[in-house]
Structure 1
Amino acid sequence: MASVVTARPHLPRALALPSTARKLLFRCSAASTMDAPSASSDGSEKKTTTVFVAGSTGRTGKRVVEKLLAKGFGVVAGTTDVDRARGSLPQDSNLQLVRADVTEGADKLVEAVRGVDAVICATGFRRSFDPFAPWKVDNFGTVNLVEACRKAGVTRFILISSILVNGAAMGQLLNPAYIVLNLLGLTLVAKLQAENHIRKSGINYTIVRPGGLTDQPPTGNIVMEPEDTLYSGSISREQVAEVAVEALLCPEEASFKVVEIVARADAPNRPLKDMFAAIKQN
């Protein structure tokens, strides 16, 4: 797989070890750099937690990349168009650009994710005349990425999905949002199938289901609820990215959970760590 590096993040020797010899050392209150055995005599070297972002040039994925970099993570930005990514993503010494197309199969994705500590999947199909596009990206594409992680030994996976994916079981078949989104190639059904695969994969996951996505700055505080609870509402992509990144920083509170999020002007401003902790583990 071809890759283009604009600025290579620090990738320590520990990442070259077999997956069984590596550990994710995320801590909620810690910064995103962690102490590691140093090759230097002064012991000053740090291990940078590195995250692969699928869909990095999308409107949500770009915000995920920016928030990860702001917190000091190393980022491997997966993209189908490296030139586009180079022009739209930040210039940062902790950012690496890699060509990665989730629709091309798990084997081609393995090298893109090999050596990273976690994956955030922010992919989404682009509207086209292909009626199978939602399934190619939102179902099979996500499954390919999960399987690539399993082959490469990556054990932490964050998926950005959508509320109402399980609308049929929630009695929301006549919900206008459920109807409209499924008119585009049964998009929500495709997303639900991908979620089900993740939950059976054995990978430590957090599935984030946002309401309707807006490109505007946040206008309210985040509300987080258990799965199959919310059937309306919207939220800024900025806040969705914030929740996805926070899921990495709070593994004890966020692991093996499906959460649904919207923003409301009258909601209290609560720490995301506390919100994750309040959701019952699946």
Structure 2
Amino acid sequence: MASVTARPHLHPALALALPAATAKKFLLRSRAASTMDAASANSPDSEKKTTTVFVAGSTGRTGKRVVEKLLAKGFGVVAGTTDLQRARGSLPLDPNLQLVTADVTEGADKLVEAVRGVDAVVCATGFRRSFDPFAPWKVDNFGTVNLVEACRKAGVTRFILVSSILVNGAAMGQLLNPAYIVLNLLGLTLVAKLQAENHIRRSGINYTIVRPGGLTDQPPTGNIVMEPEDTLYSGSISRDQVADVAVEALLCPESSYKVVEIVARADAPNRPLQDMFAAIKQT
């Protein structure tokens, strides 16, 4: 592996001592420099690379894995969270990681500063179970829409959404599928996610929508199967593999303007994600 020249970074603890705007600009520049070095060391071309990624839902079980995998690949990460204390306790202490307060339910205008200056956004949010019957719509529909609109206002042109299989279950003839019924019992969650997907498609932003099957916290037990939208109606997949697909989408031009559905199967061949993305037609 080619060596990468180290660049000075601002440690998160020192960033707290600086004015917020100054600290953020310094961190973004240092992250970008680090990742650009890594990209140039591993790629023969000199085209502009995605260097800094905002992750919404960064302390969730999938979002946390996305953050870790982005950092492992040398990206700068801006982790959006509603609970900074929780984020400090659960996310890695890394000079390429910046924590920012960001609540997708509070509207696009409040999210603009959180995403300004990044190259891409990964949305891995999900509502937390509560007595609020509208929570799925506040987070999985309106929250995602708010984040997309914030990207448009801030000039961010790349958006990865972690959604779910069966969001379009009604059109697929899966109204009686037990998974479709259960997932919609809590505030029509899948319907809310579908509405957010439709907004993304109309937004003009360069998107990849990743629809995983049932999510597990265990390590992968099979290889990834990737299919076009409205194809899979059962199956499960490790959150680690979902994070792999979301991160690879940022690196793979063939993932643009596509909706992909993923599960894991023990009998599936181990294929490169880039090849799988290339096999899916644009929507």
**TM-score where L is the length of structure 2:** 0.85
Q: In the TM superposition, what is the alpha-carbon distance from 1:117 to its structure 2 partner?
A: 0.2
Change (3 A) 1:21 1:281: farther
Whether the 8 Å contact between 1:28 and 1:273 is mirrored in structure 2 is no
For the residue of structure 2 that corresponds to 1:131, the secondary structure is coil
Whether the 8 Å contact between 2:80 and 2:99 is mirrored in structure 1 is yes
1:143 aligned residue (142, 145, 154): 145
Task: Give the number of the structure with larger relative contact order, counting CA–CA contacts within 8 Å between residues 6 or more apart.
Answer: 1
Cα deviation per residue 1:214-249 (whole Å; 9 max; x = unaligned)?
000000000000000000000000000000000000
Whether the 8 Å contact between 1:118 and 1:155 is mirrored in structure 2 is yes
Change (3 A) 1:144 1:6: farther
Whether the 8 Å contact between 2:231 and 2:261 is mirrored in structure 1 is yes
Residue identity (%): 91
Cα deviation per residue 1:24-63 (whole Å; 9 max; x = unaligned)?
9999999982269999999999987000000000000000
Change (3 A) 1:2 1:31: closer
For the residue of structure 2 that corresponds to 1:37, the secondary structure is helix
Change (3 A) 1:2 1:39: closer
- The 1-side partners of 2:84 and 2:270 are apart by 38
Whether the 8 Å contact between 1:134 and 1:190 is mirrored in structure 2 is yes
Q: In the TM superposition, what is the alpha-carbon distance from 1:165 to its structure 2 partner?
A: 0.1
**TM-score where L is the length of structure 1:** 0.85
Where do residues 1-282 of structure 1 align in structure 2 (5 Å cutoff)? 33-34=35-36, 49-251=51-253, 253-282=254-283
Whether the 8 Å contact between 2:54 and 2:121 is mirrored in structure 1 is yes
Range moving further from structure 2, 40-49 or 65-74: 40-49
Change (3 A) 1:102 1:250: same
Range moving further from structure 2, 27-36 or 186-195: 27-36
- The 2-side partners of 1:213 and 1:40 are apart by 32
Change (3 A) 1:109 1:197: same
Cα deviation per residue 1:199-219 (whole Å; 9 max; x = unaligned)?
000000000000000000000
Unaligned stretches of 5+ residues in structure 1: none
Q: In the TM superposition, what is the alpha-carbon distance from 1:87 to its structure 2 partner?
A: 0.5
Whether the 8 Å contact between 1:138 and 1:187 is mirrored in structure 2 is yes
Range moving further from structure 2, 36-45 or 210-219: 36-45
Change (3 A) 1:162 1:89: same
Change (3 A) 1:267 1:137: same
Cα deviation per residue 1:106-146 (whole Å; 9 max; x = unaligned)?
00000000000000000000000000000000000000000
For the residue of structure 2 that corresponds to 1:33, the secondary structure is helix
Per residue, is there more helix in 1 or in 2? 2
Change (3 A) 1:143 1:47: closer
Whether the 8 Å contact between 2:35 and 2:76 is mirrored in structure 1 is no
- The 2-side partners of 1:276 and 1:17 are apart by 42
- The 2-side partners of 1:16 and 1:250 are apart by 37
For the residue of structure 1 that corresponds to 2:29, the secondary structure is coil
Change (3 A) 1:249 1:130: same
For the residue of structure 2 that corresponds to 1:263, the secondary structure is strand
Cα deviation per residue 1:156-203 (whole Å; 9 max; x = unaligned)?
000000000000000000000000000010000000000000000000
CA RMSD of aligned residues (A): 7.5
Whether the 8 Å contact between 2:31 and 2:51 is mirrored in structure 1 is no
Cα deviation per residue 1:64-123 (whole Å; 9 max; x = unaligned)?
000000000000000000010000000001000000000000000000000000000000
Whether the 8 Å contact between 2:27 and 2:98 is mirrored in structure 1 is no
- The 2-side partners of 1:29 and 1:113 are apart by 15
For the residue of structure 1 that corresponds to 2:36, the secondary structure is strand
Change (3 A) 1:43 1:248: closer
Change (3 A) 1:111 1:9: farther
- The 1-side partners of 2:59 and 2:65 are apart by 9
State the number of aligned residues.
Answer: 278
